[in-house]
Structure 1
């Protein structure tokens, strides 16, 4: 199913998702929306990775953001956001066994990205139109850093996420929302 159809079927969790859903749906008509060559905004895919008993979340210490954060990345032309989320999670964590808990979108976000240096070149500020999936992995499987992107990969108790991330907006608007949604998923 294409992303537009998935988004149309997606029921927003809160007002942030309602607004962001409309922005992303409109942006799908833009040229190169799945490529970084669209320097204003592009589709990205993220993973909220939980352990088997839904008490921990896997995070990476991202070099660009200088913070513990979720895993994910650019689609770079791939329109299958779930596949991208899994691929990025594996690349950034070293995990080999990551499974989606559902093929459905778990969360959506329009994220601002401040201008930064990447591989010696300046990248202007832009938007990530982000699609998040709920994935699961074994917390005992060995993890590895991806030198060019992160300085660490570690499991944290869900309650620790707001203490380890240094990005207040992400804590308030994204990570707390994702943890709440996980808890609701477990109680269903």
Structure 2
């Protein structure tokens, strides 16, 4: 199934997701390079809400650019299989080797504003991430590792604590939504 088909079939959880779904599909009709950072206005990313087997905790990293505790994920960089991107990024950013998807279906969607910043010595202009989130699972007893070029700490947090430790107001709303949706799984 193509990314477009997945997004068309996705059933929005709330008004935010319904509007973001509409815009993502409209952007797909407008731009042909949303899977790469060549589109400096908007591009696809994949994130993971990486929970333990009991689904009582989430693994977060302390993100160097945003200076906040954050979920894991990254840019599509040309890859249309965003579940694959979410799994790859989750393992790269945490050091975990045994991560699996709870489902291959999209868990959540968000259009996220990204403020201007410097990455690897280069200015990155303000833009948006067309983000697709997947629910992933790992064993909290498995060893984790920091990825120093992206994060400076890593830890398992109780679901509500994950919201508290984030210093990004917009992301607190997203994390609350992800936790609320988890109750239905």
Q: Same fold (TM over 0.5)?
A: yes
* Count, aligned residues: 184
1:108 aligns with 2:109: yes
1:137-152 aligned at under 5 Å gives the runs: 137-152=138-153
Corresponding residue for residue 171 of structure 1 = 172
Q: Within 5 A, what are the aligned runs for 1:3-18?
A: 3-18=3-18
Deviation readout 1:142-187 (Å, 9 max, x if unpaired): 1001110000111000010121000111112x000000111111xx
Give the secondary-structure state (helix, strand or coil) at the position aligned to 1:122. Answer: strand
Summarize deviations over 1:34-66 as a string: whole Å, max 9, x none.
000100000000000000101000011000100
1:31 CA displacement:
2.4
Q: Look up the SS of the partner of 1:89 in the other structure.
A: helix
CA distance in 1 between partners of 2:128 and 2:13 (Å): 21
Distance in 1 (CA, whole Å) between partners of 2:137 and 2:126 is: 32
Match of 1:95 in 2: 96
State the 1:28 CA deviation. Answer: 1.6
In structure 1, the residue matched to 2:80 is 79
> Is 2:133 the counterpart of 1:132?
yes
Aligned to 2:2: 2
Aligned counterpart, 1:156: 157
Instruction: Provide the residue aligned with 1:39 in structure 2.
Output: 40
Q: Residue 148 of structure 2: SS of its match in structure 1?
A: coil
How far did 1:112 drift? 0.2
TM-score (normalised: structure 2): 0.98
Encode CA deviations 1:57-114: one digit per residue, 9 max, x unaligned.
0011000100001000000000000000000000000000000000000000000000
Stretch moving more, 115-124 or 21-30: 21-30
Runs of 4+ in 1 over 3 A off after TM superposition: none
Q: Which residue of 1 aligns with 2:25?
A: 25
